[in-house]
Amino acid sequence: MTNAVFQDWITGFNKRMKAQHRNIIFLLENATLHSQVNLNNVKIVFLPPKAKSVLQPLDQGIIHAFKAHYKKRLVHSVLSNMDKSKLGESVSVLEACVWINSSMRETKTSTVSKCFTKCFISSPSIDNSEDEDY
């Protein structure tokens, strides 16, 4: 993303928030691309350097769970193709897209919720009956 694209997007986002009579805080990593823009309804707050990995729910376990489900499908495909003497065949784009969709759907809600809690974005859930993916 370029600085011009970011500025166009954030300005449009600010207009949508103004139309909805909302004032929000927008957290961004401290990247040079994210220049300061004067906005009325969106306040941009930059995270301190190296804080993203601690504050990003995806980095706290969601990506790990998703990859585990995806890799399970990939290994199953490789083993299945070994039986059919198709070991050299690659995965089609359609197959990969189906696996991505299925893997994301298979990632448990409790995993996502717990990752948000680890990042201090939400409070702990009362219902912890569902096991985590990782």
Residue 26 burial (10 A CB sphere; 0-12, 13-18, 19+): middle
Q: Residue ranges per domain, the chain? A: 3-49, 55-118
What pTM value is reported for the model? 0.54
pLDDT for 58 beyond 70: yes
pLDDT tens-digit readout, 89-132: 677 899 899 999 999 999 998 888 888 888 776 666 545 555 65
**Count of helix runs (H) and strand runs (E) in the chain:** 5, 2
CA distance 8 to 62: 30
Higher pLDDT, 46 or 126: 46
pLDDT for 44 beyond 60: yes
Mean pLDDT of 36-64: 81
